[in-house]
Amino acid sequence: MGSTITSLLSDFEQAIENQDYRTAEETLHDLVDRYDALEAAEEGRIARAFEARDVTDQEANAIKTYTTRAMSADLMRMGFLLQSASYVFDPETVDQTLPLDSARKLREEEASLEDARRTVSDTLETVTIPAVVQLLTTDLPGEIHPKGTSDTLTIVVENVGDAPAEDVTINVTQPSGLGVSPTSTDLSLAAGERATVEVVVSYDTDGEYGLEIELNAGDAGSDVEMFSIVVSTKQDLIATALAGIADLRTRIEETESLGLIQRVVLDAELAIAEEKVELAQEFGEGKKPLLANTTIAAAITKMGLFLNELDLLLLSPEINRALEQTGKGLIDQLVAAKHAKL
CATH number of the CATH domain containing 179: 2.60.40.10
**Cβ–Cβ < 8 Å for 220, 159:** yes
Residue 280's identity, in one-letter code, is A
Question: What is the number of structural domains in the chain?
Answer: 3
**Which ranges of 255-316 would DSSP assign to H, the alpha helix?**
260-285, 289-312
Q: What is the pTM of this model?
A: 0.77
Residue ending a domain, among 232, 261, 290, is: 232
Integer Cα distance of 148 and 142 in angstroms: 15
Integer Cα distance of 134 and 323 in angstroms: 41
pLDDT recorded at residue 283 = 95
3-state DSSP call for residue 284? helix
**Cβ–Cβ < 8 Å for 6, 30:** no
Residues 239 and 307 in one domain: yes
How far, CA to CA in Å, does 329 sit from each of 17, 117, 143, 323? 26, 41, 11, 10
DSSP annotation string for 1-68: --S-HHHHHHHHHHHHHTT-HHHHHHHHHHHHHHHHHHHHHHHHHHHHHHH--S--HHHHHHHHHHHH
Cβ-based neighbour number of residue 208 at 10 Å = 10
Give the domain extent around 259.
234-339
Residue 44's identity, in one-letter code, is G
Half-sphere exposure of 120 (CA within 13 A, CB side): 30
DSSP annotation string for 86-98: HHHH-TTSS-THH
Integer Cα distance of 129 and 163 in angstroms: 7
Integer Cα distance of 338 and 297 in angstroms: 7
* Closest C-alpha to 88, from 322, 251, 327: 322
Residue 301's identity, in one-letter code, is T
Residues 98 and 29 in one domain: yes
Residues 11 and 121 in one domain: yes
pLDDT recorded at residue 2 = 54
Cβ-based neighbour number of residue 283 at 10 Å = 20
- What digits encode the pLDDT tens for the residues 44-71? 788 778 777 778 888 889 999 999 999 9
How far, CA to CA in Å, does 203 sit from each of 9, 67, 146, 152, 208? 39, 42, 7, 11, 11
Would you give per-residue pLDDT tens digits along the chain (342 residues)? 457 899 999 999 999 999 888 899 899 999 998 988 887 778 778 877 877 777 888 888 999 999 999 999 999 999 999 989 888 877 777 888 999 999 999 999 999 999 999 988 888 887 888 888 988 888 888 788 999 999 999 999 999 888 999 999 999 998 999 999 999 999 999 998 999 999 999 999 999 999 999 999 999 989 999 989 999 999 999 999 999 999 999 999 998 888 899 999 999 999 999 999 999 999 999 999 999 999 999 999 999 999 999 888 878 877 888 898 899 999 999 999 999 988
Residues 263 and 194 in one domain: no
pLDDT recorded at residue 1 = 46
Residues 145 and 101 in one domain: no
Pairing of strands 165-172, 207-216: antiparallel
Residue ending a domain, among 210, 232, 254, is: 232
Residues 238 and 227 in one domain: no
Residues 187 and 267 in one domain: no
pLDDT recorded at residue 337 = 94
Residues 21 and 63 in one domain: yes
